[in-house]
Amino acid sequence: MPALPTDMLGYDRAITVFSPDGRLLQVEYARETVKRGATVIGIVAKKSVIFIAEKILPNNLIIPESAEKIFQIDDHIAGAGSGLLGDARVLIQKAQEEARRQQLLFDEPIEVSTLVKKVCDFKQLYTQYGGTRPFGVSLLIGGVDSKGPRLFITQPAGIFFGYKAISIGEGSSVVNKFLEKNYKDSLTNEEAIILGLKALKSYFKSKFEEKVVEIAIADGGFRKLSNDEINKYLKSSLK
């Protein structure tokens, strides 16, 4: 992020103070954290939502399966985050609690949009109280409910939007341009996965083959692809 003018430096230390030009600088810093995070993609297919996440492994001794980026929230909903992974885990746990509460109180699964609103209400609280900071993470939350497959992005300020396909993280600007150009309605799972991997390749280019990725499908249930399945799709996307 560009250096702040000297007359604004006092406004970047407190979340409850607006700068003279109406900015909450702590929220903007949280957005910058997301931009530096791992690249994560969500794509709405014909009957499911596909999640693809880049795994950043600092060294070769880390077990790839332990570096989760995609999480199951409910039987029919999943989430993936970019930014501070610790913040993502707190928000995923909050989402899981809200999903369980809905099931206990009303004996029915929670709608994806309802869950997203509850998570974003929680995120927004951390933009207005002293002694706290905004969550330095954006989440993609998606799944299949009574309205079909749905995908949302939640931002640090507590804003959310619905998308057909979207990327967050370091390579999002390049990946989103690729998705916007190549996305089609009613993709099959296989077509959506290959589209997502090709979108990643458009950003990483020659380094793409070195990347470790995680892929999951939310189609009324939740399933993560095995390494063998992922490798098959990786080979298809390289053609």
Provide the CATH number for the domain around residue 176. Answer: 3.60.20.10
Position 10 in a domain: yes
* Encoded tokens for 18: 């607006």
**pLDDT at residue 24 is higher than 60:** yes
Res 18: pLDDT: 87
Position 84 in a domain: yes
Q: Calculate mean pLDDT across residues 91-104.
A: 97
Which residue range(s) make up the domain with 42? 6-237
Q: Among residues 222, 217, 214, 226, which one has the least CA distance to residue 72?
A: 222
Res 150: pLDDT: 98
Res 6: pLDDT: 47
Residues 163, 152: Cα–Cα separation, whole Å: 6
Average pLDDT, the chain: 92
**pLDDT at residue 5 is higher than 90:** no
Complete DSSP assignment for 101-125: HHHHHHSSPPPHHHHHHHHHHHHHH
The predicted-structure confidence for 198-221, as pLDDT tens digits, reads as follows 999 999 998 887 788 999 999 999
Q: Calculate mean pLDDT across residues 52-80.
A: 90
Position 1 in a domain: no
Q: How many domains does the chain have?
A: 1
Lowest mean pLDDT among 52-66, 72-86, 142-156: 52-66
Position 76 in a domain: yes
Lowest mean pLDDT among 17-21, 113-117, 135-139, 175-179: 17-21
**Do 55 and 38 contact (CB within 8 A), yes or no?**
yes
Position 91 in a domain: yes
Q: Calculate mean pLDDT across residues 178-201.
A: 96
